[in-house]
Structure 1
Amino acid sequence: MKDIAIAGAGGLGREVLVLLHQINEVTPQWNILGFYDDDPALQQTQINGFPCLGSLTDLSQVNRELHVAVAVGYPAVKKQLVTSLQHNSCLFFPALVHPSAQPKPYQYIELAEGTLVFQGAVLTTNIRLGKHVLVYLNCTVGHDAVLENFVSLMPGVNLGGNTNLGEGAFLGANATVLQGLQIGSHTKIGAGSVVSNSIPDNCTAVGVPAKIIKHHDV
């Protein structure tokens, strides 16, 4: 069994805890130590039966081998946290996939470090998920899709085949991207939106069909 801790003790952190339990029920492999979080109210408390072990700074200074699940949904915050931790050679970021979504060799799916795939997700074939991608509950990802580093899909997102999501893209719950389209890096798609044309970098788009309502810096 490998020691693992969860970075972030909010709602997503508790759902990652459930994911780890679900993985262990099928193949015991993770010794869950607890959480790290910067919220002082959580320090030295029990969260769903597991302790908050310290702050994220404490985590960055761990001096023994430890696997870390980064439970942060917003891409920019997630990237900042990972950057602060990855200098520590003692820390490792495993890909964690719910047993129901575990890809088979014949699917030709690539999973990079830190990727989280939750219960109910469906990934078809020839898909590449970059580092620290979040595929939340009940998402579907079609053939030949590419999700670059730090992409986050909220629950119920549907991606058609041959879609490409740039680094740090964020898709709100139940958003749909039609086949063959691109979502730019650091672009946000609102919940329930339907993307029927490619969307460029660094903007926010909402609606059916999705329209750009704002351009923003990274």
Structure 2
Amino acid sequence: MSKDIIIIGGEGNGGVIASAIIDMKNNYGYDYNLTGYLNDFEKVGTKLHEYPVLGGTKDIESFARKGYYFIWAVHMIGKGEKRRKLYYDLNIPEDRLISIIHPKSFVAFNVEIGKGVFVMANSYIGPGTKLGKGTLVMANCVVGHNDDIGELCHLSAGCNVSSYIKIGNASDIGLGAAVLEKRTIGDYSVVGANSLLTKDIGDREIYVGTPAKLHRKIDKYEQN
């Protein structure tokens, strides 16, 4: 059955997800139709990567009633708490969230995939791992076995997350970063680009460097 898909977001992650959907339809036979975007910062009819802005986030309910599917593409680095609040404020019907798993990725047979997950081409997800709803795994990522990754996380291109890792909700792993095995990362935290995380980190913390050290705490005022 054909699925008409709307991306919630815009350029950036939205464009990456759009390119995966188009590739899956054109080259792998998926019955997906990318129809456009919902975006609060662009005028209706504006083209983003050749696809129109169809409305704003206030229009989610009306498009859901018409049978459209959605995928979340909103990402603000270091503002995980804000994006998680926005996600729940929008009341996206979970039965209308579609997961996009590119066929050139490897996802083990027993990975638990939440609603609205995105996995880009050339990424590896090991056995026994859980991906929480709305989590985005970008190109060329390695996610080891028996990991527990929370909802609305963002794993940037080329990152390497080892095994028996627990990542809380709406946390970010930066470009090319590596997380050693059996580490825990709290909610709303960030591991900076090209960093090597060798220790557990708490909620709302930014770690950078090799080995990664606490750069600063994320204050709640930053979420406004």
Q: TM-score, normalised by structure 2?
A: 0.88
How far apart, CA to CA, are the structure 1 residues paired with 2:93 and 2:201? 36
State how 1:144-163 maps to structure 2 within 5 Å.
Answer: 144-163=146-165
Aligned residues: percent identity?
26
Distance 1:155 1:87 in 2: 26
What secondary structure sits across from 1:13 in the alignment?
helix
1:1-35 Cα deviation digits (max 9, x unpaired): 11111111212111111110122231322122111
**SS of residue in 2 equivalent to 1:43:** coil
CA distance in 2, matches of 1:33, 1:195: 40
Task: State whether residues 154 and 171 of structure 1, in contact with CA within 8 Å, keep that contact through their aligned partners in structure 2.
Answer: yes
Contact 2:125/2:143 (<8 A) preserved:
yes
Aligned counterparts of 1:76 and 1:66: Cα–Cα separation in 2: 27
Aligned ranges for residues 51-90 of structure 1 at < 5 Å? 51-62=52-63, 63-74=65-76, 75-86=80-91, 88=93
List alignment gaps of at least 5 residues for structure 2.
none
1:119 deviates by 1.2
Could you say which residue in structure 2 is the equivalent of 1:31? 33
| Contact map agreement 1:70 1:78 (CA 8 A) in 2 | no
- 73-82 vs 5-14, which moves further: 73-82
Matched, 1:94 2:95: no
Q: Report the counterpart of residue 49 of structure 2 in structure 1.
A: 48
Instruction: Give, in whole Å, the separation in 1 of the partners of 2:97 and 2:179.
Output: 28
2:7 is the counterpart of 1:2? no
CA distance in 2, matches of 1:216, 1:47: 32
**5+ residue gaps, structure 1:** none
CA RMSD of aligned residues (A): 1.8
| Aligned partners of 1:132 and 1:151 also within 8 Å | yes
SS in 1 for 2:176: coil
Contact conserved, 1:60 with 1:84, CA < 8 A, in 2? no
Match of 2:184 among 182, 185, 194: 182
8 Å CA contact 2:205, 2:217 repeated in 1:
yes
C-alpha separation in 2, matches of 1:103 and 1:204: 29
CA contact 2:107–2:124 (8 Å) conserved in 1? no
CA 1:39–1:194: 2 relative to 1, 3 Å: same
Structure 1 position 52, deviation (Å):
1.1
Distance 1:87 1:54, change over 3 A: closer
Query: What do residues 64-112 of structure 1 show as CA deviations (whole Å, max 9, x unaligned)?
Result: 22100111223334423321332557x611111111125353xx11100
Seen in structure 2, the aligned counterparts of structure 1 residues 29 and 82 have a Cα distance that, compared at 3 Å, is farther
Deviation at 1:187, TM superposition (A): 1.0
SS in 1 for 2:21: helix
Aligned residues: 214
Contact 1:125 1:142 in 2 (8 A): yes
User: What displacement does 1:209 show?
Assistant: 0.7
